[in-house]
DNA sequence: CAAAACCGTTGACTACACTCCATGGTTTTA
DNA sequence: TAAAACCATGGAGTGTAGTCAACGGTTTTG
């Protein structure tokens, strides 16, 4: 699909999609059978963009995401993939725990508000 | 306590602590009974710094955190605190869910690696 | 077939959250 | 008491993740 459709479906801007492509997080091919310069984004890029969003929410930087997707895509880099993944998973677990602890504070604040507005 | 001790105990740099203070997220008082310009950070600032870290992991910006702490500190701003808190709590819940979904992908990747290294 | 809508490229710009450096003063310590 | 360690202030600089504007070309649509 073309970038406009991908932008609409993913909820990201064209600029962001191009930015991710420049960074090597996603890839496109020249549109088939047309002499323009338009790029064609495979369907699975949509899923990839979704993963990128979730990874960011989990605390991954784009550099981290690039390592991970490069790993998925079979380009085993010159680093210990298993160690990287183990360490990152641990980080994510800690992040989630901390976010949950914070959520509880937030919910307690809300609850106290409902009992006694602005107490 | 002085900023050096606070930095050591919190794991943050002096610069970060001063930055948070400039941003209005924490407060200090002049050190008592001394004619220097040193600042004294109350004990509870440590806890506050911990909350700030967790809030960031939950996806809060410093501006969000400032609103929340201003709210806690009783300076009820000119905004609907309850609405803000409700919306933010919902955002955090979604963030956590997305992070958890991502964590599962990560763990699946790790698991498949342990079964069949680089398959 | 013309206007509107879309596309790619380049490069500058922005917001956020720090981080560093220089300067000069104050405490602590050996 | 001198050196080392600490402190405050101001301002500049950094990295990350986008975002915007301008240009000219291509497709789609009424």
What would the mean pLDDT of B25-46 be, rounded to a whole number?
91
Share of chain B above pLDDT 70, in %: 92
Q: What is the pLDDT of residue B75?
A: 67
Q: What is the pLDDT of residue B76?
A: 67
Q: What is the pLDDT of residue A91?
A: 98
Q: What is the ipTM of this complex?
A: 0.91
Q: Which residues of A25-46 are buried (b: 16+ CB within 10 A; e: fewer)?
A: bbebeeeeeeeeeebebeeebb
List of domains in chain A: 1-58 (1.10.1660.10)
> Taking 70 as the threshold, does the pLDDT of residue B118 lie above it?
no
What would the mean pLDDT of B8-30 be, rounded to a whole number?
97
Q: Which residues of chain A have pLDDT under 50?
A: 119
Contacts of A96 (CB under 8 A, 6+ apart): A58, B96, B99, B100, B103
Q: Which residue has the higher pLDDT, B32 or A76?
A: B32
What would the mean pLDDT of B50-57 be, rounded to a whole number?
98
Question: What pLDDT, in 10s, does the model give residues B99-116?
Answer: 999 999 999 999 998 876
Contact B51 A110 (CB under 8 A): no
Closest to B111 in 3D by CA, of A100, A60, A85: A85
Residues 3-32 of B with CB under 7 A from strand D: 3-5, 7, 14-15, 18, 28
Contact A110 B57 (CB under 8 A): no
> Taking 80 as the threshold, does the pLDDT of residue B95 lie above it?
yes
Disruptive mutation site among B102, B112, B113 for chain A (greatest number of A CBs within 10 Å): B102
């Amino acid at each position: 699909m073309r970038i406009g459709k991908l932008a609409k479906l993913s909820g990201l801007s064209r600029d962001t999609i191009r930015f991710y492509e420049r960074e090597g997080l996603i890839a496109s091919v020249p549109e088939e059978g047309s002499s323009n310069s338009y790029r064609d984004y495979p369907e699975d890029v949509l899923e990839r963009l979704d993963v990128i969003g979730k990874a960011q929410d989990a605390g991954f930087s784009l550099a981290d995401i690039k390592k991970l997707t490069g790993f998925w895509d079979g380009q085993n880099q010159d680093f210990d993939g298993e160690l990287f993944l183990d360490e990152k998973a641990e980080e994510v677990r800690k992040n989630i725990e901390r976010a949950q602890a914070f959520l509880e504070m937030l919910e307690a604040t809300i609850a106290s508000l409902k009992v006694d507005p602005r107490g």
